[in-house]
Copies of this chain bind each other. A is one copy, B any other.
């Protein structure tokens, strides 16, 4: 019953096998091998256009270096109030980019385009005192388990573009959002105006595979130096490439995400039908937020269930209340239906 996070899962065997194969060869270091280059080419196919791809060690690095590549002195980046970049990365985006993360409200983890617009409006072009609006970053799927629709991405993008700002997407759970919408990588990114993407593989079956994808090569031109100076250039970079090769082959990544989402659906259905628990808000990717009685939470933990307590958002429709607790449940490629059912049984038992 491991629902604490999708990064508690291990790695998929197809990815492991590819790593094994890689381990017996010699090859050029620092991202210059034939395999590294082949995988860059593979990203072109996946995104249906020429992209610039850079592997890094962590999702925090992908976000931070993406923003660093867009940075200007005195720059301000707009993100959701509860975004990972502002709440969960210990200031790394600020550190690497030198920019301030400016919070934008919006329900269920999605920035409200109107609020975004009014926040940006506080930074007129010539106002050296306030700093200057420089970038917008959004998370897909969001930290709340919700997914921006294509139209919603376009709305955010339109606000960004109307203000001359590049748009970054934190895609730590990109695949989960993609299969939930049922669209293509191109449709969910550059065709909607996304300029830079943090493309996460670690949470979805790799053990360490994160990439920055630039849809505008001009924006990527400082990244080789930014990455090296940021201590994010792997010497044996091809082991990241190998993971991505297996990950992207025969739609493995999409299958893994579909599985994780299906397990979350199973959880959602079970909790919605429960007498003792309720869904905190609608989610649609591989994260589920539920309100359960405190005693039930304790009982579940005693039986080995792993999940995190979550801070109650200030604008929750129906407050959690004193006897209950808000919890987050995350499924992954490795979650099994039996485990979901076992957890639902524990909840039902109260």
Contact = CB atoms under 8 A, between A and B. Distances in A.
A226 to B, nearest CB: 5
B73 A131 contact: no
A13 B12 CA distance: 18
A87 interface: yes
A228 interface: yes
A272 B122 CA distance: 29
A91 B64 contact: no
A313 interface: no
Contact of A90 (B7, B61, B65, B229): B229
A318 interface: no
Copies of this chain assembled into the complex: 4
Nearest to A13: B23
Contacts of A233: 58, 60, 128
Nearest to A122: B311
Interface stretch (A96-104, A160-168, A177-185, A245-253): A96-104
Contacts of A100: 86, 91, 94, 100-101
Nearest to A87: B130
A323 interface: no
A10 B29 contact: no
A16 B236 CA distance: 14
Contacts of A73: 68, 222, 225-226, 229
Contacts of A16: 19-20, 23
Contacts of A131: 90-91, 225, 229
A155 interface: no
A230 B231 contact: yes
Contact of A95 (B122, B208, B230): B230
A13 B90 CA distance: 36
Nearest to A71: B73
Interface string A126-147: 0011111000000000000000
Interface of A: 2, 4-5, 7-13, 16, 19-20, 22-30, 56-61, 64-65, 68, 72-76, 86-92, 94-96, 98-101, 103, 122, 128-132, 202-203, 207-208, 222, 224-236, 239, 306, 311, 334
8 contacts: A4-B29, A7-B236, A13-B23, A30-B128, A57-B58, A87-B130, A131-B225, A230-B230
